[in-house]
Amino acid sequence: MLEWLLPHQVAGTIYDIDLEKLQAEGISGIICDLDNTLVGARVPSATPELAEWLAQVRSLGFRIIIVSNNRRARVSRFAEPHGIPYIFSARKPVSTSFRKALDLLGLAPEQTVVIGDQMLTDVLGANRMGLRAILVKPIAPADESVFTRVNRLIERAAHRRLTRKGLWPKEDRQ
């Protein structure tokens, strides 16, 4: 059961993910969480570094979509200036939003990766749909909601057990 929370890959940040390696492995789509994955939960727009990363993602031919449990106002304010399609109030890890994201991208699960900072939403949702999951460290954990903090306690316990079993992947650093 804990294996559902196991990411395929672990990275410090999105910037540590080798996009060219993903491309070589047949990945052409990215379903990405917003809060604490791309920017801190209280940061309204992309940093210059993130804008550069998004440009690199597109220049390599990746299709990208944001799937967030946050409200429409938060997600649209971030995504629309960058021309990124998005799904808000996603209710991750429920499969519906992941399925919709795949439809919008026009891709199959084996062509798509999910990047997020939470095991109980992003990784679990990805694994349930047969998507590859990359877990990144949260950008600003101090700004998280009470609900997310409770999730983090569960995630830490799962991480310890998966590590003890020798299943936790080694963190990628560029």
CATH number of the domain where residue 48 is located: 3.40.50.1000
Closest CA to 158 of 170, 149, 167: 167
pLDDT tens sequence across 69-113: 999 999 999 999 999 999 999 999 999 999 999 999 999 999 999
Reported pTM: 0.92
Does residue 174 lie within any of the structural domains? no
* Domain enclosing residue 159, as ranges: 2-169
Residue 155 has pLDDT above 90, yes or no: no
Here the tokens at position 119 are 């095991």
Here the tokens at position 159 are 């991480």
Does residue 113 lie within any of the structural domains? yes
Number of domains in the chain: 1
User: Which residue type occupies 21?
Assistant: K
